[in-house]
Amino acid sequence: MNIFEALRESHDRQRSYAEALVKTSGDTPERVEAYKQLKAELQAHETAEERHFYIPLMEFDNGVDLSRHAISEHHEMDEMMETLDETEMSDPTWLVTAKKLAEKVHHHLKEEEQKFFQMAGKLLDEKQKESLAGQYEKEYKEQLS
């Protein structure tokens, strides 16, 4: 497995969790569970991805800007999750923020898969892609637990 395949597995989970979340309503067990899943997935993925994908890419001149951009989008998602944590789930603004978060997740993943992966694919050699996948997977599992 290479780093792109490893990241894509988490991306698929993020998409389904984000879609499930915006279909929930009010302060329900479904919403609590959907948000818990998405938040845990995003946080574990972000941490592992920054350490074992974006930081290594910053060693290349061509990787600095895209890494900074992606990390700043992670930060925006973290801020939206903080807002959600501070808002009652029954509050109508909760779903508005959740929808913004879901849109940001979809935008971010699409951008990564269509632009960043291609660029990173040119910067990293096969051995790096495989070793980063292993490091990412290990970190990701530690973050989730």
Q: What is the pTM of this model?
A: 0.95
pLDDT value of residue 131: 98
pLDDT in tens, 8-62: 999 999 999 999 999 999 999 999 999 999 999 999 999 999 999 999 999 999 9
Each domain of the chain, given as residue ranges in start order, spans 3-144
**What is the pLDDT averaged over residues 61-66?**
94
What dotted CATH number matches 3-144?
1.20.120.520
Residue 26 region, left (φ>0) first, then alpha (ψ -120 to 50), else beta? Answer: left
d(CA 6, CA 13): 12
How high is the pLDDT of residue 103?
98
